[in-house]
Every structure is written in C-alpha cells, then in structure tokens.
Amino acid sequence: MEKSPRVSFKQINKLAIPLIIAGISEPLLSLVDTAVVGNVDTHAIEALAAVGIAGSFIAAIVWVLGQTRASISSIVAHYVGAQKLADIRSLPAQTIGINVALSFLLCIVTVLFTKQIFQLYNAEGLVLDYAVRYYKIRALGLPFSLFVFTVFGVFTGLQNTFWPMIISIVGAILNIGLDILLVYGWDGVVPAMHVEGAAYASVIAQMAMAVLALGLFVKKTPFSLRIRLPLNPELKRLVALSVNLFVRATALHVTLYLANSYATFYGKEMIAAQTICFQIWLFFAFFIDGYASVGSIISGKQKGAGQYNALVVLVRDLSKYGISVAVILMGICFVFYRQIGGLFTSDSFVLDVFYGVFWMVLVAQPLNAIAFVYDGIFKGLAAGVALRNTLLLATFAGFVPTLLLCDYFGFQLRGIWMAFTVWMAARSGILYWKFRKQYRQAS
C-alpha cells in the first residue's frame, strides 16, 4: 500500500473555503426567501408555511436528481488521480444531457400535479394556494439548477472549487436583491408580488448561474458540451452509482416529507416554526458540508492513486475540522438565540414554538458534522451501495419509528427534531463502523 504525504490544513482549506461559500449559497437563498416572505404585510404565517413546504419539496427534487453531481465528481477525481483524464473526455456532456432531460420531465410532471402533491403535505386553504403558486414558478428553474449542479461536480472532480464559488456568489447576490425588490415591490415602478416574487427571484438567479456555468465549463475545463457517441464506458458506472444515490436521496425525501407533513398537521404556526428551524439546519448542513465535499474530492483522487494510509488520516482531520465548525456555529446561535427568531417572523406564537425547539437543532450539529464527513468520504470512494443501505436503515429503522412514537406521546415539533437527531446518529454511526471495518489495517 503506497504511503503519501498528509494533506495539510492549508491544502484542505484551499478547497474547503470556496466549497463552503458555494455550498451555503443555496440554503442562504432559502433563508432569505424565508426571512423576506415571513415579514410581508399580509398573511405572513401562511406565506411562510407555504414557502417552507414547497421549498422542502424542491430541495428533495434537487437532492434526488443532483446525485449525479457526486457521481461524476467521484469518477473525474479517480481519473485525475490515475492521470487518465482523456479516457472520460465524452462523459461530462453525456451526463449533463441525461440530467437536464430528466429535470425537464420531472418539472412537467410535478407542475401538472402540484396541488395534489402539496395536499399530501396536509396543506389546505391559503397555505395550499400559496404553495402551488410558488412551486409552479420555481419549477421552471429546475433544469437550470441541475445543469449547474452537474457542472459543479465536474469542477470539484478536477480539484477546482474556485469557479463553483464564483458562480454561487453571483447567484446569491442576484437572488437576494431580486427577492427584496419583487416580494415587497418598488412604489410606482415594480408591483409587490408576494410569494410569486420570491419564486421569480430564484428562477432568474438560477438562469444567470446556468449561463455563467456554461461559459466557465467551456473555457476552464478540458471537456466539451458536445454529446458524442458511442456512450463512454464509465457512464454505466456513473448511472449505477447515481441510482444507488437516487434511492438514498429518495429515503432522505421521506424524512423531509414526514417532518413537514406532521408539522403542517399540527397547525400553521407549527409548520411556520418548522420552516425556520429546517432552513437554519439546512444552512448549517451546507456550511459543514464544505469539509465533507473536500473528503469526496480528495478521497476519490487518493483511491485512484492507491493512497489508503493518507485516506485514513484525511478522515480523522476532516472530522476534527467539521466538528470545530459545528461547535462555532452552535455557539454563535446560542449567543444570539432570541435575535435569530426575530429575523424571520414577528408572530409571538410562532416565535415561542421556534424557541422551544431551536436548541435541539443546535446541539445536534457536532453529530451532523461526523455524518456529513463520512457521507463525503463514501461518495468520493464511489461506495453507493453503502450510502444507500445506511440511509435506508437510518430512515426506516431510526427516523420513522421515533417520529411515530413521539407523535403518539404528543411531543409535536420536539418529536420531529428528536427523530432528526436519531436519524443523524444512525447515519454517522453506521458509516463510521463501515469505514473502520474496511480500512482499519491502514489506520
């Protein structure tokens, strides 16, 4: 087994910091949507609840189809490590073509059944109306989002995280400005568009990111967007890995669906508070995921080069860094505990519910960091079966039974976050055990 130098803290952060900035842009957009919509003058609670329900469904779709991002990143990184990049020259264009075609199909199908989809979330009345109107606009951005995600996967596989960061910064700035303009309006110039304004802001930002990603892909990578036949031999492995990650992401969607469905059933104030909690959780997840993504990038390269000793050391280091970031974020939020809630709503009942469960979101962050780091490592190793089975077990033997038990005892939102904590504990524990079992000789 070949030994190699330890990946330094400086090298890790050179990749991680741009990834953190790129990664938090998507949840930051959702946070801004939540804060802007939650402070409108009319029906703010219903609007906040609707954006939360529709936003979680959109996130699930992007996560499910976006698994090709991790797949192509892993395969490109393997070939970078093996110094055989020319062998997969046709793969990115073929992957992008498949991904965009699937996103168009899913966009059409979900728009046709939007009302029925959100009725499954227990949405009704004005909440249902707002959710339908918001989603039908946001769905137009799905093909652009999936295109950008796949391009990000190619760049990270090439060990380049700078350009994904630039694309994300442009999208975030554009989205935030348009959010404020289109939701609240500009007197005499732009009419206030309420939840539709937030949706249009996101779609325009996604289109701009796609245009920028297209130009950078052509100029800054050795690949072409021209789809050539025959199909690349690695496409079969990419599809197999993506299918396993697709099943994994579907199980993840089950947790999001059940959490939001139960919260909606408990009342509009409950789903409003759940929306705030989840958007902050998601923001933290993508923030910590910067180090997890480094694990995916470097572990794929190390596997391609046969550097397994270095891989074990990398996991230890990334776990320490991820936990440190989680503790810092947790500490900041505890210091500004009351002020954070006020950013999203002024409704006293929603705030009381939020403050009653927000601490649960925070104390679970170090545990989440471990789970995300091992997720990233296993993605880089192209271990789709292990990731699939882990999430299926964590969801159906951990999250679902805990949620049902907590609902029986009337814990409501506290029960939902107890279930989330059990879910993350199972994910981190199983992957830690699998990695130790497979690579203990190298440690």
Return the higher-pLDDT residue of 210 and 122.
210
pLDDT digits (tens, 9 = 90+) for 247-271: 887 888 889 889 988 998 998 889 8
| Mean pLDDT on 431-437 | 89
pLDDT surpasses 60 at 276: yes
Catalogue the long-range contacts made by 103-109 (C-beta closer than 8 Å, 24 or more residues apart).
103/65, 103/142, 103/143, 103/145, 103/146, 103/147, 104/142, 104/143, 106/61, 106/65, 106/142, 107/139, 107/140, 107/142, 107/143
Highest mean pLDDT out of 30-39, 182-191, 197-206, 243-252 = 197-206
Q: How far apart are CA 108 and CA 143, in angstroms?
A: 11
d(C-alpha 17, C-alpha 7), whole Å: 15
Q: Once rounded to an integer, what is the mean pLDDT over residues 378-385?
A: 81
* pLDDT of 2: 46
Predicted pLDDT at 328: 93
Check residue 335 and give its pLDDT.
94
**What would the mean pLDDT of 3-20 be, rounded to a whole number?**
73
- 261 contact partners, CB below 8 Å, separation of at least 6: 120, 121, 122
pLDDT per residue as tens digits for the range 45-62: 888 888 888 887 887 777
Using one digit for the tens of pLDDT, what is the confidence trace for 352-378?
999 999 999 999 999 999 998 998 888
Amino acid at residue number 275:
T
Output the six-digit token pair for 34: 């939540």
Q: Which long-range contacts (CB under 8 A, 24 or more apart) does 221-226 make?
A: 221/92, 221/154, 221/155, 221/158, 222/85, 222/89, 223/89, 223/91, 223/92, 223/93, 223/154, 224/89, 224/93, 225/92, 225/93, 225/96, 226/93
Query: Which of 8-22, 319-333, 427-441 shows the highest mean pLDDT?
Result: 319-333
Which of 5-9, 255-259, 268-272, 417-421 comes out lowest in average pLDDT? 5-9
> What is the dihedral sign for C-alpha 194, 195, 198, 204?
negative
pLDDT at residue 314 greater than cutoff 80: yes
pLDDT score recorded for residue 401 = 97
Read off the pLDDT of each residue in 148-153 and give the average, rounded to a whole number. Answer: 88
Task: Report how far residue 243's alpha carbon sits from residue 382's, in angstroms, rounded to the nearest whole number.
Answer: 12
Give the pLDDT confidence score for residue 25 in this predicted structure.
67
DSSP string, 192-225: --HHHHHHHHHHHHHHHHHHHHHHHHHHHSS--S
Q: Is the pLDDT of residue 103 over 90?
A: no
The predicted model gives 177-192 an average pLDDT of 87
Q: Which two tokens stand for residue 97?
A: 């073509």
- CB within 8 Å of 215: residues ≥ 6 apart: none
Residues above pLDDT 90, as percent of the chain:
33
User: What local confidence, expressed as pLDDT, does residue 390 receive?
Assistant: 94
Q: SS3 of 231, please?
A: coil
CB atoms within 10 A of CB 87: 12
Please tell me the predicted confidence (pLDDT) of residue 1: 41
- Examine the pLDDT at 227 and tell me if it is beyond 60: yes
Give the rounded percent of residues in the chain with a pLDDT score beyond 70: 94
For the segment 212-223, the average pLDDT, to the nearest whole number, is: 93
Q: What single-letter amino acid sits at 309?
A: N
Query: Given this model, what pLDDT does residue 419 score?
Result: 97
**Between 427 and 98, residue with greater pLDDT:** 427
- 186 forms beta bridges with 190
Identify which has the larger pLDDT, 308 or 177: 177
Q: What is the pLDDT of residue 26?
A: 64
Whether 443 shows a pLDDT value over 50: the answer reads no
> Residue 396 has what DSSP assignment?
I
Distances in Å between the alpha carbon of 71 and those of 131, 174, 391, 434? 32, 29, 17, 20
Q: pLDDT tens digit string along 23-45?
A: 666 666 667 777 788 778 788 88
The pLDDT value recorded for residue 263 is 92
Quote the pLDDT of residue 66: 66
